[in-house]
Structure 1
Amino acid sequence: MKKTLILLACAMFSMTMSAGIASAYSIDYQRQLLGNGGFTTNVTGALVETFDATSLNWNWSGDYKIRNTSSGISAQPYGLSGVDTTNFISVPNNSSSGSVTAVEAVNLGSLYNYFGLWWGSVDTYNKIEFYKNGSLVDSITGTQAISPSVANGNQTAPSTNLYVNIYGLKDFDSFKLISTNYAFEVDNIAVANIAPVPEPGTMMLLGVGMLGLAVFGKRRMNKEA
């Protein structure tokens, strides 16, 4: 009986770990509406880079431009009331392709598994890469963030100008914004470390396992009695 209990406990642990490992990041489009009609994260406690006067102390490098108006190669993200009226980042700047890496002093200050951004005119050639200690751990493209048929770079459509929340990323301490054409326009980038919520399947496995342990324990007590 003792051996059976040990085997059952091991099986429960293995199934729980497998379920957790198999999970990938998830996406939704919940946002907080700003007074100017723009979008930002609704995640409590997230660090938000606005590119304005109170921007975070992140070190930026690469082919990019901080703008507050549209140009011949980029357009302001579009919100509920019209175009973004604050600063935003555009990648690339003056070449056909480019990337920008954001690293705060002391590696973003922590490891994060959530990333949010007000993504303007989402294009198929926009991409975000996430790194930990210099190694690539995750990535997402415009066609993965929204429907591939919709990622057409429309500069005013709600379907291509939205706040994208990416949960459950592998831990990262830096990221790159990459675009192989004009352009990748972003504002109000948010990062946070959110405790993972067990998946329903994982909870069910734990419940079944605990029930099994209880049944075996009761049978053992009855036999001893």
Structure 2
Amino acid sequence: MRSHRSLTCLICVAVVGASSAALASISISSASVGGSALTGPNIRYANFNDLTVNSTGGLTSTAPAGSLQVNLTPGAKVVTGKQSGQYAPPVLSNGNGSNFGGQFMGADGTPYITTGSTGATPNAAAELVFGSATSYFGLLWGSVDSYNKLTFHLVGGGIETVTGTDIINFWNAANAPSFPSGSQATGGTLYVNFDSTIGIEKVVATSSSYAFEFDNVAYESPLGQIQAVPEATSVVAWASMLIVGAALVRRRV
């Protein structure tokens, strides 16, 4: 009987362990005014300067290194400058544009992306698709609002979301005074870095009101260490095989 009990315990540990591993994988590693992207030999920097202003649809950003598929659903688009009530540029500070081959300080004068509003156009979204899964994602997030949202699509089919409220709360937990939500001044733009324990295949930016503006995206490629966590169905199937094995052991005992 001891063999049967031991194997049963292993099954419980395996199922619980696999289920725990499938919990939230995305974490905010930093969010700061004047913050910067990570640096390293595999970090790629996309500044969107090679994209045509006012363009929408499927695009590919290749500058200054790496390749990133950019899918823009109306009314998301590539823009410059400001349009009252619809979009305003992120603000660079503390030289945090240096890795992106652009300006170092002031309102972003280069092309950037606005998501538009799902309230005005229900399917408005900016989708960033990576050539290979990344465990890191960073972006210059302009005038952070509570109604901005990032949706992370992970290897294996998982989906996790981070909202502007999450970013604001992260900031407020470490800083005073409170974050000036929606501010188009320097203090309203944050460079935000995310880490993931599961590979990120794509990131989708949306906003329920005008708008979610961002530029200067960083990600890691190539990446070989990240693998998918087993799907729930896979865990169950694996556990079932172990249970069958336990039954055979029991019959022999």
State the TM bucket, normalised to the shorter chain: 0.5 to 0.7
- The aligned counterpart of 2:38 is 42
CA displacement, residues 104-127 of structure 1 (integer Å, 9 cap, x when unaligned): 4xxx22122221100000000100
Q: Give SS of 1:188's match.
A: strand
Q: For structure 2, list consecutive stretches of 5 or more residues without a partner in the other structure.
A: 51-61, 94-104, 173-177, 227-253
For 1:136 and 1:12, the matched residues in 2 are separated by: 22
Match of 1:65 among 67, 77, 91: 77
Q: For structure 1, list consecutive stretches of 5 or more residues without a partner in the other structure.
A: 32-37, 197-225
- The aligned counterpart of 2:131 is 109
Match of 2:196 among 151, 168, 173: 168
- The aligned counterpart of 2:90 is 77
Q: Any conservation in 2 of the 1:39–1:162 contact (CA below 8 Å)?
A: yes
For 1:27 and 1:166, the matched residues in 2 are separated by: 5
Report how many aligned residue pairs link the two structures.
185
For 1:101 and 1:74, the matched residues in 2 are separated by: 14
Measured after TM superposition, the shift of residue 39 of structure 1 is 6.1
Note if 1:186 corresponds to 2:214.
Answer: yes
CA displacement, residues 184-217 of structure 1 (integer Å, 9 cap, x when unaligned): 0100112225958xxxxxxxxxxxxxxxxxxxxx
**Scaled by the length of structure 1, what TM-score is found?**
0.64
CA displacement, residues 24-52 of structure 1 (integer Å, 9 cap, x when unaligned): 43223378xxxxxx765124222222111
Measured after TM superposition, the shift of residue 150 of structure 1 is 2.8
User: Sequence identity of aligned pairs in percent?
Assistant: 27
For 1:28 and 1:194, the matched residues in 2 are separated by: 21
- The aligned counterpart of 2:100 is none
CA separation of 1:51/1:172 partners in 2, compared to 1, >3 Å: closer, same or farther?
same
For 1:153 and 1:174, the matched residues in 2 are separated by: 25
Q: Any conservation in 2 of the 1:64–1:89 contact (CA below 8 Å)?
A: yes
- The aligned counterpart of 2:27 is 26
Runs of 4 or more, structure 1, over 6 Å off, are: 10-19
Measured after TM superposition, the shift of residue 170 of structure 1 is 3.5
**Scaled by the length of structure 2, what TM-score is found?**
0.58
